[in-house]
Amino acid sequence: MNLTTETKMKKLIILVAAVVALSSCSDQKGGGTNGPPASGLSGDMYLVMDSVQWNGPLGKLIESTFTREMEVLNRAEPIYRMRWIDPRKLNFVLKQRRNLIFAVTLDQNAAGARRVRGMFTQQSIDRIKSDTSFFMTTSTNLFAKGQEVMFLVGATEKELIKKIERNQEKLTAHFDRAEVNRLTSTLFRSGQLKGVSEMMRKSMKAEIKIPFGYDLVTADSSFVWARQINPKDDKDIFIARKPYQSVEQFRKDSLIAFRDQVCKKHLFGDPERPQSYLVTETNISYKPVLTREVNFHGKYAIEMRGLWRTNNLTMGGPFLSYALVDEANGVLYYIEGFAYSPGKEQREIMRELDVILNTFKFTGK
């Protein structure tokens, strides 16, 4: 079986967005790449729409789309924190939020809806009426630098609801990519953990970027572990490898078995107590280990998300991993990020670890 064939990859989500011509009104001044930096925290989402529609089925659908529970965390956390803004109160400060959504339909004539609709030219409104496939477009740096703005539009509320229901994953994926791009540009701003990539190129025929602030715990030709211990959390990255034999190694039970084997040998809750090793949590029915096929920078891979714990039940947390094969050298790589942050939010930690994991690549011939 050829793991690099397109039939073995999940198709990349492609957002085909037409450009909405926004009127050049004075309240858009100060935006763009030369404007002020976008404000707000990672994971914050601001929705601008009329109060009638916000309190109705359209508002509830948009809110549920962006606030559904993030997969496999110790505690329930939404993928985004949603904030509603009355269009009549949209001031200069609120326009600079990092993630903004404007939603409006032409069959709504309340004051807030008219305010949002006033951002569009007549040509754009005519297109909304005539083009039944058009419902979404995006703009970067519209009011501030580093900002992502999405417009959700429809001739009628009923039509827009149907389109959003069919495209929920695409809508959230767009902002997910924006958050990843922001993290990527800031995470390595202070540099990288020195020597890790060079060592891995020699011993593992691969490399990964580990941000400055992490410490290398252990490393050999088959295992590398780096971690960052902070007052509120413990963030860990590890890479393991073994000979690739068959596609059966990509099965969930096989990956869990390999993970548990590596953790028992190398990863301890307390280095002074090797009996406190990490295991994969498989006994919580409502938090199962999840796997899916993904395209990892052109390579077929299995993404796995789940919970871990120490075998003596003293610690636990979420993990995210990828398994992929260097076919030229016949090696299976397992790369993982896991976190320990009891009682604290873990969503942004896992996003950060995912960004680090996505710098992994093969280097061997």
In a shared domain, residues 142 and 269: no
In a shared domain, residues 66 and 93: yes
In a shared domain, residues 116 and 11: yes
In a shared domain, residues 311 and 213: yes
In a shared domain, residues 195 and 181: no
In a shared domain, residues 196 and 177: no
In a shared domain, residues 70 and 125: yes
Q: Contact, 237 vs 336, CB < 8 A?
A: yes
Whether residue 1 lies inside any domain: the answer is: no
In a shared domain, residues 165 and 18: yes
Q: β-strand 299-310 against 316-326: which pairing, if any? A: antiparallel
Give the helix, strand, coil percentages of the chain, each rounded to 5: 30, 35, 35
User: Which H, E and C letters describe 263-286, residue by residue?
Assistant: HHHHCEEECCEEEEEEEEECCCCC
In a shared domain, residues 138 and 270: no
In a shared domain, residues 144 and 180: yes
Last residue of a domain, one of 168, 186, 204: 186
Q: Contact, 21 vs 130, CB < 8 A?
A: no
Whether residue 22 lies inside any domain: the answer is: yes
Helix axes 57-66 and 168-187, enclosed angle (nearest 10): 40
Which structural domain, as residue segments, surrounds residue 198? 191-362
Phi and psi for 359 in degrees, rounded to 5? -90, -5
Last residue of a domain, one of 164, 186, 208: 186
The tens-digit pLDDT sequence of the chain (365 residues) is 454 433 333 332 222 233 333 333 333 444 667 789 999 999 999 999 999 999 999 999 999 999 999 988 888 899 999 999 999 999 999 999 999 999 999 999 999 999 999 999 899 899 999 998 899 999 999 999 999 999 999 999 999 999 999 999 999 999 999 999 999 889 999 899 988 888 999 999 999 999 999 999 999 999 999 999 998 899 999 999 999 999 999 999 999 999 999 999 999 766 666 678 999 999 999 999 999 999 999 999 999 999 999 988 789 999 999 999 999 999 999 999 999 998 888 999 999 999 999 999 999 76
Whole-angstrom distance, CA of residue 327 vs CA of residue 147: 40
pLDDT on residue 269: 64
- Burial pattern 299-324, b for ≥16 Cβ within 10 A else e, equals bbbbbbbbbbbbeeeeebbbbbbbbb
Whether residue 321 lies inside any domain: the answer is: yes
CATH of the domain at 250: 3.40.1000.10
Domain count, the chain: 2
pLDDT on residue 34: 76
In a shared domain, residues 327 and 230: yes
Whole-angstrom distance, CA of residue 234 vs CA of residue 357: 16
- Whole-model pTM above 0.75? yes
In a shared domain, residues 91 and 154: yes
